[in-house]
Chain A
Amino acid sequence: MSAVVSEKKLKVVGTSPDRPEGVPKVTGQAQYGADWTLPGMLWGKILRSPHAHARIRKIDTSKALKLPGVKAVVTGADFPEQKFEYVGAARVALNFWHITRNVMAKEKALFEGHPVAAVAAASPLIAAEALKLIEVDYEVLPHVIDVEEAMKDNAPLLFEDMIPRGYTPEATKPSNISKRVDFKIGDVDAAFAQADEVIEAHFKTAPVHQGYLETHACLVRTDADGQAECWSSSQGHFAVRNLTAKITGTKVADLRCHAAEIGGGFGGKTVVYVEPVALMLSKKSGHPVKIQMNREEVFKATGPTSGASMTIKIGVMRDGKIVAAEGIFKYQAGAFPGSPVMNGCMCSFAPYDIANVRTTGYDVVCNRPKTVAYRAPGSPISAFAAESALDMAAKKIGMDPIDFRLKNIAKPGTPTVFGTKLAFNGFAETLQALKAHPAYANPPKGKNQGRGVAAGYWFNGGGESSATVSVNEDGTAVVCTGSPDIGGSRATTAQMAAETLGIEYERVRPIIADTNSVGFTQTTGGSRVTFATGMTVINACNKVIEEMCKRAAKIWKIEPENVVWEDGSARPAGKRAGEFPPLSFREIASKRTATGGPITAAASINAEGQAPGFTAQFADVEVDPETGLVKILRYVAAQDVGRAIHPKYCEGQIHGGVVQGIGWALNEEYIYDKNGRMENAGFLDYRMPVASDLPMIEAVIVEVPNPNHPYGVKGVAEANIVPPMAAIANAVQNATGKRINELPLSPPRVLAALDS
């Protein structure tokens, strides 16, 4: 555990330089997922189920194969069978029996848009024509979309043999409930009995898509000996490699994956959809194969995060102390198990010191696309319910919502419902910073206007990262990491490298190396990269410095222990102090051949000691009483970032999370017809906010350094999306006197509440 570098000594960390990859991006030269081509390349297209739920009796591909220009067709039968087992930690467990079926259906189509076959052809038009020639014999089955409906005894079952996990005594009857999880501390029932006031309410949220602008795309080539290479848009090319290798039966070392530039991910590009299909088509045809989804495919067959049905109960004393809390969270998993309900159970009350808490979660399958991570997966959903209920409690006892939260904050040492004790400061400072914002003293006073406050918690991640640093003869350094850059991580890793080495930011060239050129690195997600990848870059830079000092010792013909590194130069020290003028990074780099050859260092880490993200936010709104339209007048978001390596990107992360939260709160939802077909699979009718819908979002950066990182980093990218839904619902309540516990707060729903 290293001490945090003092702020006074920092030169590059804490500034906001231009992004190193900015020029290729703004000039259109950057290569995104769909920008790769190869000679002899074929176009892959995927045939998708038109039914929400159907048994696949037979697939006849013979006519498609006869169409001139068609080079290969694959169906579920082409993919190797996978063992049915849940592997990995419970929170993120994988089951490849499910994963391979999500990529390509086998026995059943479980949602509209579920892939059932794919073709590779000489042109996109031929591929599209070939899809029409594939004959699929479906037995259409009753379907279920809503989570409460799916949990009913008589609901159509997606998996006839799925016995719910997590029950005592063990469940014996098949159900759409994949799993029940529960957490408990204290004596919840006794505490409720003693509380002065008990608040209880039911909440619902709609599933929402991550909404990245760039659709999924990849190019895969294969060699005759089974080696393969893949270029794709993802948050983790190592994850693409490992998942694709397993699904296609390829040796991990034989699949080399490159990270394309990425046009947004937000958690949704942590899994594979098209890569294994392209690989199988490439294997079968012997040609490189490119697959690019359109927007409709993205909406119908990727993402989203869960919709949920939830009940919250809070017991509070008249002095503002919360004595008991309970949450029941039913999350839609989509077509395969694995909603983030466990996170929801863990995060909902995590920032508060409540002695008696019980949270129960249900992971429920239904005929929708399989849910995928979305920015702080699981936490925003349960927080909408918990933070709305906290607002109700604060109102009931007549306390300011920030003071109410401050009275109940968790501090280092406070036990959480999931067993561990909180180990970090930051929440109190964040709430105080929000309260100190000049606007907090001036709540909106106009007609139909109101304010809502909410807070948020997210774990943040550490984990495995690798980096190599190579010094060049001109005094520049190349920093290779395995982390796809979705939020400015090339800039921040270059900043941390420049700071550590003592050289200018412009002399560091950060790149993302392919899976065969740098050590294993987990996906860019969980707000882990600036923390964990940053740390391994710093470690590699420290190794370079050690080597640089040895080279200086060699040049000076003195003992290496009498050389120190200061301000980017080696200096003689100890008994040699002052004997030689300092040798700069550039001077030593230029003498590498004569002093021992290339100067490079590699480092890998399984980083621990990440600190959670805390945020507190308020929204000021005005509600049109005749149309139900909610206008956000002002939005202020305070967040503890540990230390801002690049303050503008921290602000950008806060803006981004809040904007996505505003969309989630106001308009985003999946609309299904009675046959379980999505009616709004496009940006026109899946209403994400546009720029003119938004006020200036005021980001308040709070810096309570993480003692476990040399520069004090805490993850920044996710906590910010946790509070907006509750903040806005609380504001609408404050503006209109009507509390709406179901998202989205769309104009028809708000108007109906106002008119009720």
Chain B
Amino acid sequence: MSEMRYEAPKTVEAAVALLAGASGTLRVLAGGTDLLVQMKSGRVDPTLVVDVKGIPEMTTIAVENGGFRFGAAVPAMTLHEHAAFSKAWPGLTEAAMLIGSYQIKGRASVGGNLCNASPAADSVPALIAAGATATIAGPNGRREVKVEDIATGPGKTSLGKGEIVVSFFLPARPAHSGDAYLRFIPRTEMDIAVVGAGINLTLDASGKCTAARVCIGAVAERALLVPDAAKALVGTTVDAAAIEKMGAACSAAAKPIDDKRGTKVYRTKVCGVMAKRAAAIALNRAKGAN
């Protein structure tokens, strides 16, 4: 029964100062849908909890350079309800909306989902596929980092002492772009991904794929960007053969484990299946069928 200090700073700088200046077990609290569960079950017993929900730049969605910047503590439901955001990034929005029940989605944030660093986090493959960058603030100021460089393994991130993820930036969307995220769960909701796959692609006017990013989840120690899968699509019309090749590249890149949620063999195969199905959805979206 150690004592816990709770702080709710109003600025990023104040939050960073608190985290940088304290010792012991430090935790950042956004929606709390992971942290509070971990605290109640005794898995973590923090000495300092810094609540970031009172920091405006961490809880707002804004248009920036034709793209979107959204705070790391913005709840999934707020992304979903933001008409322009969810229209531009339906795949990422759907991925965030797969996190838990409605009550959970009203609190859970993409920043929290990323920094909790579960390999099965639903919003992360979609965010990486989208090519998002994160703004990180720390004692030495701010830096921009690719999202795929943040989580390093289960429960581990590349964040340094006193650093927090402030916001995410999604670049302006070229015409004929679409994204999608699908996960496999044995039920229909209220579950954790056995595998997940996020895809973001852009077509030219003739329907040829000019850019693609493919990221698979729950098949390695962190979400995996699969360049070979993207290569299988770029330059094609995303026809059945290309999609098949892309799925095979995902299965080839996967390095899952056997655990209570699925077997190695199963995950290897089904991550390819999910990627193929997600690609079909992303393609439709890129062709304008939102």
Which A residues are within 8 Å of any B CB, using their own CB?
125-126, 128-129, 296, 626-629, 666-667, 671, 679-680, 684-685, 687, 689-690, 692-693, 746-748, 751-752, 755
Contact = CB atoms under 8 A, between A and B. Distances in A.
A257 B188 CA distance: 41
17 contacts: A626-B270, A667-B186, A671-B260, A679-B260, A680-B260, A684-B190, A684-B192, A687-B187, A690-B189, A692-B188, A693-B187, A747-B184, A747-B186, A748-B263, A751-B266, A751-B269, A752-B266
Contacts of B270: 626-627, 747, 751
Nearest to A751: B266
Interface of B: 1, 41-42, 184, 186-192, 194, 259-263, 265-266, 269-270, 273
Given A680-B260, A685-B260, A748 B266 contact: yes
Contact of A690 (B42, B188, B192, B261): B188
A655 B259 CA distance: 32
Given A627-B273, A747-B266, 17 more contacts: A126-B1, A626-B273, A667-B186, A684-B191, A684-B192, A685-B260, A689-B187, A690-B189, A692-B187, A747-B186, A747-B194, A747-B262, A748-B262, A748-B263, A751-B266, A752-B266, A755-B269
B186 A752 contact: no
Nearest to B195: A627
Given A685-B260, A747-B186, A748-B262, A125 B1 contact: yes
Nearest to A747: B186
A698 to B, nearest CB: 20
Contacts of A690: 187-190
A685 B194 CA distance: 11
Nearest to B247: A626
Nearest to B264: A748
B191 A687 contact: yes
Nearest to A684: B192
Contacts of A628: 266
Contacts of A693: 187-188
Contacts of B261: 685
Contacts of A687: 186-187, 191
Given A627-B270, A629-B186, A747-B184, A752 B265 contact: yes
Nearest to A686: B260
The 6 closest A-B pairs by CB, nearest first: A748-B266, A692-B188, A626-B273, A671-B260, A679-B260, A680-B260
Nearest to A755: B269
Contacts of A755: 269
Nearest to A296: B41
A692 B189 contact: yes
A748 B42 CA distance: 32
Contacts of A747: 184, 186, 194, 262, 266, 270
Contacts of A748: 262-263, 265-266
Given A125-B1, A679-B260, A685-B261, A667 B187 contact: yes
A667 B188 CA distance: 12
Nearest to B272: A626
Contacts of B263: 748
B2 to A, nearest CB: 10
Nearest to B194: A747
A187 to B, nearest CB: 46
B80 to A, nearest CB: 18
A637 to B, nearest CB: 21
Contacts of B265: 748, 752
A627 B260 contact: no
**Residue among A627, A680, A746, A752 with the highest chain B CB neighbour number at 10 A:** A627
Nearest to A689: B187
A666 B269 CA distance: 20
B118 to A, nearest CB: 12
Nearest to B192: A684
Contacts of A746: 186
A743 to B, nearest CB: 14
A694 B132 CA distance: 37
Nearest to B261: A685
A627 B184 contact: yes
A125 B3 CA distance: 12
Nearest to B270: A627
Contacts of B262: 747-748
Contacts of B266: 628, 747-748, 751-752
A129 B259 CA distance: 31
A621 to B, nearest CB: 14
A684 B187 CA distance: 11
Contacts of B259: 679
Nearest to A692: B188
Contacts of B194: 747
A684 B190 CA distance: 7
Contacts of A671: 260
Nearest to A673: B260
A511 to B, nearest CB: 35
Nearest to B263: A748
B186 A666 contact: yes
Nearest to B42: A128
Contacts of A129: 1
Contacts of B184: 627, 629, 747
Contacts of B260: 671, 679-680, 685
A667 B266 CA distance: 15
Contacts of A128: 42
A681 to B, nearest CB: 10
A222 B266 CA distance: 56
A324 to B, nearest CB: 38
A629 B194 CA distance: 12
A125 B187 CA distance: 36
A671 B184 CA distance: 19
B198 to A, nearest CB: 18
Contacts of A752: 265-266
Contacts of B273: 626-627
Contacts of A692: 187-189
A139 to B, nearest CB: 26
Contacts of A680: 260
A215 B186 CA distance: 25
B103 to A, nearest CB: 14
A296 B273 CA distance: 34
A603 to B, nearest CB: 47
Residue among B42, B190, B262 facing the most chain A CB atoms (10 A cut-off): B190
Contacts of B188: 690, 692-693
A293 B1 CA distance: 20
B187 to A, nearest CB: 5
B18 to A, nearest CB: 25
Q: Which of B186, B190, B192, B270 has the most CB of A within 10 A?
A: B186
B284 to A, nearest CB: 19
B15 to A, nearest CB: 28
B44 to A, nearest CB: 15
A106 B127 CA distance: 54
A689 B266 CA distance: 21
Contacts of B1: 125-126, 129
Contacts of B186: 629, 666-667, 687, 746-747
A689 B189 CA distance: 10
A746 B192 CA distance: 15
Most A C-beta atoms less than 10 A away, residue of B41, B189, B259, B260? B260
Contacts of B42: 128
Contacts of A629: 184, 186
A573 to B, nearest CB: 63
A134 to B, nearest CB: 16
A752 B186 CA distance: 15
